[in-house]
Amino acid sequence: MNIILFGPPGAGKGTQANLIIKEFNLVQISSGDLLRDEILKKTNLGKKIEVIINSGDLVSDHIVNELLEEKISDKRNQNRLIFDGYPRNLSQIKFLKQLLIKYNQKIPIIISLHVDKKIIEKRIKGRIYCTKCKKIFNKYLNPPNKMKLECKGKYLEKRLDDNIDTIVKRYDTYVQLTKPVIEYYKKNSTFHYIDGNKKIDEISNEIRGILLNLTD
C-alpha cells in the first residue's frame, strides 16, 4: 500500500506519518525532510534550498523530483511509501504518476487532513523537531520527554521557517498551489477526508481505521 498524506503546513502530516509507519510497515517520504537534509550537508545546493524554504516559497520541481525519485526507485520501499508534503503542485502530480508507473508502484490512497488556520498557527509556533530521527514535537501541545529520546534531546531544534512571517507566506503558497492538488485527487475513489483539528491520537486512530479497513 502507498499513501499520500495531504494538508496545509502545520496540519500534522509528519506527526501522523511518524505514528503509523511502524504498524503498517511503511517508509515515510517527507519532501521537506529530504530538503532539510540537503541544507544540513551545507552544499551549494543546500544553501540555495535554505533561502527558498525560509522565504516560504516552493523549491523548484526538478530539485524535489530528483530527491523523490531516489526514494521511489529503491526496491526496498516498493508499495510501502507514505508521502508527506508531495505532490505540492499540479506538475508534481504528473511526475509522481509517471514515477509510480516506472517503478511498478501501486496507486496511492489519499488521506487529506483539514485544519483551521488558527490551529495551524498555534501548532507551528510550538513545533520543534529532531534533526536526527525527524520526530516532531510541540512545546505546548506535545512536549518531548527528552530522557526517553535516544539522543536525550540533543538534536531538537525549531525550524527556521516556523516563524510568523514565513507561516503566512507558506499558507498562501498552499492555498495557491497545493489546494488545486487536493481538488484533483478529490475525484479519486481512494480519497479520505479527515478532520485534522482533533487531538493527535484521535486523528491517528481515524487514519488507522481507514488503513485497517483497506488491508482486511
Q: Please report, as ranges, the residues that interact with ligand AMP according to CB under 6 A.
A: 9, 31-32, 35, 52-53, 57-59, 64, 85-86, 88, 92, 161, 170
Nearer to ligand AMP, 93 or 200 (CB): 93
Other beta carbons within 10 Å of 33: 17
What's the rounded Cα separation, in Å, for the pair 40 and 144?
A: 22
Shortest Cβ distance from residue 14 to ligand AMP (Å)? 7
Shortest Cβ distance from residue 216 to ligand AMP (Å)? 31
Shortest Cβ distance from residue 130 to ligand AMP (Å)? 14
Nearer to ligand AMP, 161 or 206 (CB): 161
Shortest Cβ distance from residue 80 to ligand AMP (Å)? 20
128 touches 156 (CB < 8 A): yes
Nearer to ligand AMP, 9 or 204 (CB): 9
Q: Which residue is nearest to ligand AMP (CB)?
A: 32
Nearer to ligand AMP, 123 or 170 (CB): 170
Nearer to ligand AMP, 88 or 192 (CB): 88
Give every strand in the sheet of 127-130, ordered side by side: 136-138, 127-130, 156-157
If we measure between CA atoms, which residue out of 66, 26, 36 comes closest to residue 136?
Answer: 36
